[in-house]
Structure 1
Amino acid sequence: MQIAIMTDELSSDLETALEIGMDWGIRHFELRGIGSERVGALSPFSTHHMYQTIEQTGATIAALSPGIFKIPLVDPNVPEGFQVLRWQDTEEFYFRKNAIQKLEDHLNVLLPESLAIAKRLGVKTVVIFGVNRPDGVSSDDCPEFVIDLLREAAKKAGEAGITLALENEHICFADSAEHTARIIEKIDHPNLRINWDPANAYYAGEDPYPFGYQFVKDYVAHVHFKDAVTDPNGHCRYVVEGSIRWEQQLEQLQKDGYKGFVTIETHCRPKIASARQTLERIRKVLG
């Protein structure tokens, strides 16, 4: 098992993030945000500068997180209704058209671009998401359209020799460990695995370890490390040390033979201090 860190959890400036991480003895990094852009959708100059910076520092890129499919669902198979007022019909038409186009763009533009970046950087894992659930829709009711979308993405990744790691995220159909594993099993493609994020499972109302982990343990290709607590008002928030049984989770991953990356992703401020404390916490277990 190897430690990595999300560069934008240290600094939005890639060079600064790599310098800080390498000063701490980290050699593996995950790319998500660079400046005000996200990997996979960078400007030509930002893409050139990214390659140049990584090459000059000698850093290894553990994974990419371009935000693929972390967008609202509009099922193209659902027939449109008609409102009494024409302007309402017009708004609905363009909302649906733009949302469907965005999903198609993620599949046919953002995904291929991300796979191309991964291949150039020698990255084997690209993190994706299970499409944002509409309000009031249960994650138990994942539409076939989403399954088909993820299956097609897995096929494209397979052709490129890259593994897609479906991250469990509380706003998506793949929210809890149980729901995420169910999607993986339904698609049944070797290039679609799981990016296990226990804190996201906690946000989804699931006990991530040991309960949630039992569903995902055979599919884990990548891990995100952050922690969370629930305040007295019942609201979840991210913290450096919270309710996740991370020490036991890391030990179990080791026992189960997991040899991939654990990426520090604190979502906390101050960024650098939080990341450093998290790194020390992980090193106490992994050495």
Structure 2
Amino acid sequence: MAKFRISANMEFVKSADKSFVEGVNIASELGYKYVEPMVHTGWGLLSEVGYFHSFSMEEDPLLMKEICDEAGVKISSFSGHSPLMKPEAAVPRLTRAIQFANATGAKFVNSDEMLKPDWMNDKDAFEAMKYSLTKANMVAKRYGVYICIEPHGIYTKTAQGLLNIVNLVKSPNIAVNWDTGNSYLAGEEDPYEGLELVKSHVRHVHAKDISMNHSDKERGKVTGTPVGCACGEGVVDWERIIHILKPLDREIFFSVECGTIDEADRSIKFLKKVFGSDLIDD
């Protein structure tokens, strides 16, 4: 039977213009034992001046680990979203994120298909994605890391579309990161039926709730959203999600994706109650 761990996706400090170091320390103060950093290639201006939480993969991965160790938190996974239809960007980005995961003790790198160029047809898109995932999977297998694809784009807005991408490369290292908010907002199908369809592939969850106001404005009009409201304060049926995933024989991270520090505080308190004895809190 599944057991669950709670992590904080670092997006929760984005609205507060906090750096990676500040964000990690705030997560620790809120009681999070794990964080999911966002990583990027190159040198981002806002990150370099301490106004943004994303961590450059030009840095030493052990520097990231030292920062987390000092705050008393571990790294659950990486937000390594890469444009799968642009192999020249996706392959080096995913490769580096996988190496970062290995160096810091994480097992999951999360991504989605991202945007399809206007000039690209569906056939070419899937050939490009297959190339990107084939190359990245070679690295993931060496390091024992999972590449987890989430619902967030034009192809992954349905569960079958998500599986079509996951199954491009037959590998246990390519899995699903189920995003509870994106699957709901897409409005293409019942999100719980969608989860039932892909659950055997789920290794990681983005715990994203959607407020009623957000739902009224965007459901059926978008394929995803950066962050949601505090877990337990929106439309997501968390007990049903847990019931669907419970039969899986593995540990599953629920990485909270919300928009503010206060929402992250309320989210961890709510999820601890919902998980009860199924939570691994160490």
What TM-score bracket applies, with the shorter chain setting the length?
A: 0.7 to 0.9
Query: In the alignment, is residue 239 of structure 1 matched against residue 229 of structure 2?
Result: yes
Residue segments in structure 1 that go unaligned for 5+ positions in a row: 74-99
Query: For 1:257 and 1:251, how far apart are their aligned partners in 2?
Result: 13
SS in 2 for 1:260: strand
Equivalent position of 1:26 in the other structure: 32
1:122 to 95, 100, 105: 105
Query: For 2:158 and 2:122, how far apart are their aligned partners in 1?
Result: 9
Aligned length: 250
Amino acid in the other structure paired with 2:170: D
**Residues 72-122 of structure 1: per-residue CA shift (max 9 Å, x gap):** x4xxxxxxxxxxxxxxxxxxxxxxxxxx5xx31330x22222122111101
Query: For 2:119 and 2:58, how far apart are their aligned partners in 1?
Result: 36
Q: Is the CA contact (8 Å cut-off) linking 1:131 and 1:173 kept in structure 2?
A: no
Cα drift, residue 167 of structure 1: 1.6
TM-score normalised by structure 2 residue count: 0.76
Q: Which has the higher contact order (CA 8 A, sep 6+)?
A: 2
Cα 1:255/1:193, change in 2 over 3 Å: same
Q: Is the CA contact (8 Å cut-off) linking 1:124 and 1:163 kept in structure 2?
A: yes
Amino acid in the other structure paired with 2:275: L
Query: For 1:69 and 1:224, how far apart are their aligned partners in 2?
Result: 19
Query: For 1:147 and 1:258, how far apart are their aligned partners in 2?
Result: 27
Equivalent position of 1:163 in the other structure: 146
Higher CA-based Rg: 1
Q: How high is the sequence identity, in percent, across the aligned residues?
A: 23
**Residues 131-189 of structure 1: per-residue CA shift (max 9 Å, x gap):** 423459898995222223222221221122211111221x3433322211222234221
* More displaced stretch, 50-59 vs 228-237: 228-237
Query: For 1:157 and 1:14, how far apart are their aligned partners in 2?
Result: 25
Cα 1:8/1:218, change in 2 over 3 Å: same
Cα drift, residue 264 of structure 1: 0.4
Q: CA RMSD in A?
A: 2.9
Cα drift, residue 201 of structure 1: 1.4
Equivalent position of 2:78 in the other structure: 64
**Residues 17-53 of structure 1: per-residue CA shift (max 9 Å, x gap):** 22222233321111116644734x44538x6753331
Query: For 1:252 and 1:42, how far apart are their aligned partners in 2?
Result: 35
Residue segments in structure 2 that go unaligned for 5+ positions in a row: 40-46, 277-282
Query: For 2:265 and 2:66, how far apart are their aligned partners in 1?
Result: 26
Query: In the alignment, is residue 274 of structure 1 matched against residue 280 of structure 2?
Result: no
Cα drift, residue 244 of structure 1: 2.1
Equivalent position of 1:214 in the other structure: 196
Q: Is the CA contact (8 Å cut-off) linking 1:175 and 1:204 kept in structure 2?
A: yes
Equivalent position of 2:54 in the other structure: 38
Equivalent position of 1:110 in the other structure: 93
1:3 to 6, 9, 15: 6
Cα 1:154/1:48, change in 2 over 3 Å: closer
* More displaced stretch, 238-247 vs 155-164: 238-247
